[in-house]
């Protein structure tokens, strides 16, 4: 008898619950570092650039992730769907593969800036999108790479504040990178949009978001918080309710008003 495969995780196979028509150019497999480190750029339907860009931050090492799922994170349906949605909103979207997520992510941003003219990207208008276990690397980038304009951090593991070990414990369990462990690092000179899913099933994740927001407000960080009380983890691809769609639209507006206006 053939061994049955477990059902596919819908969080890895579903498209964003909101979409826009997209027929733009996609440049794939641009090597930005080592041989395994490549990126894809989704360009807007019209115009010659330079375009503002949203980089989708990856916090998991792709060799391990691909061994488990058969795909790199950048090739998953939600990532591809989000990239098309960003590009349909007059911005370039960047997806990339990682070897060492913290190092690879910094290298990717440095490459985008150094090759901005050839890639038709505006090096002064770059934002980050991150979710779940990818958020710690996004926070690392905000603290390590100057000049990032904004970041949208969604239902994510944030920072271990107030002696918490939630992020470090989850990193060990789920194998995402946590380059902020043991560091007193908080992104302050950037616009942030933090999205919280009230019914997130991952233990401690919402307590961590709450602590992050309190700390950010105490530091006078430019931060918006969207709380979706009925939202589950990855609601942007799993929940097609009117409120979920509206929040996805708010995420887009966050980027367009700061990058594409």
Would you give per-residue pLDDT tens digits along the chain (261 residues)?
A: 234 444 578 998 899 999 999 999 999 999 999 888 999 999 999 988 999 999 999 999 988 888 777 889 999 999 999 999 999 999 999 999 999 999 999 999 999 999 999 999 999 999 999 999 999 999 999 999 999 999 999 999 999 999 999 999 999 999 999 999 988 789 988 999 999 999 999 999 999 999 999 999 999 999 999 999 999 999 999 999 999 999 999 999 999 999 987
Tokens 């000179």 correspond to what residue? 189
Residue 185, pLDDT score: 84
How many Å apart are CA 214 and CA 108, to the nearest integer?
31
Q: Residue 35's pLDDT is what?
A: 81
Give the list of residues 6+ apart from residue 6 with CB closer than 8 angstroms, or none: none
Which pLDDT does position 1 carry in this prediction? 29
The burial class, CB within 10 Å (0-12 / 13-18 / 19+), for 29 is exposed
Q: What is the pLDDT of residue 7?
A: 55
Length of the chain: 261
Q: Which domains does the chain have, with CATH numbers?
A: 20-260 (3.40.50.1820)
Q: Residues 6 or more apart from 258 whose CB is under 8 A from it?
A: 127, 149, 150, 191
Q: Closest Cα to residue 224, out of 145, 153, 155?
A: 153
Structure tokens belonging to residue 220: 């006078």
Q: Distance between CA atoms of 233 and 202, rounded to whole angstroms?
A: 8
């Amino acid at each position: 008898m053939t061994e049955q495969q477990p059902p596919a995780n819908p969080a890895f196979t579903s498209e964003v619950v909101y979409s826009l028509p997209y027929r733009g150019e996609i440049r794939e497999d641009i090597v930005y570092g080592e041989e395994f480190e490549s990126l894809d750029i989704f360009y807007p339907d019209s115009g010659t650039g330079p375009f503002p860009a949203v980089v989708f931050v990856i916090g998991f090492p792709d060799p391990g992730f691909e061994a488990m799922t058969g795909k790199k994170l950048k090739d998953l349906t939600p990532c591809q769907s989000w990239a098309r949605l960003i590009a349909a909103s007059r911005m370039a979207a960047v997806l990339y593969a990682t070897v060492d997520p913290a190092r690879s992510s910094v290298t990717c941003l440095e490459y985008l800036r150094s090759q901005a003219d050839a890639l038709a990207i505006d090096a002064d208008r770059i934002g980050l999108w991150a979710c779940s276990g990818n958020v710690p690397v996004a926070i690392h980038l905000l603290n390590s790479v100057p000049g990032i304009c904004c970041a949208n951090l969604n239902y994510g593991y944030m920072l271990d504040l107030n002696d918490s070990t939630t992020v470090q414990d989850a990193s060990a369990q789920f194998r995402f990178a946590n380059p902020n462990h043991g560091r007193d690092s908080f992104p302050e000179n950037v616009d942030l949009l933090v999205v919280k899913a009230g019914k997130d099933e991952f233990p401690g994740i919402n307590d961590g978001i709450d602590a992050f927001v309190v700390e950010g407000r105490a530091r006078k960080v430019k931060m918006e918080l969207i709380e979706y009380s009925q939202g589950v983890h990855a609601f942007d691809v799993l929940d097609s309710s009117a409120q979920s769609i509206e929040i996805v639209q708010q995420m887009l507006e966050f980027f367009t008003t700061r990058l594409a206006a």
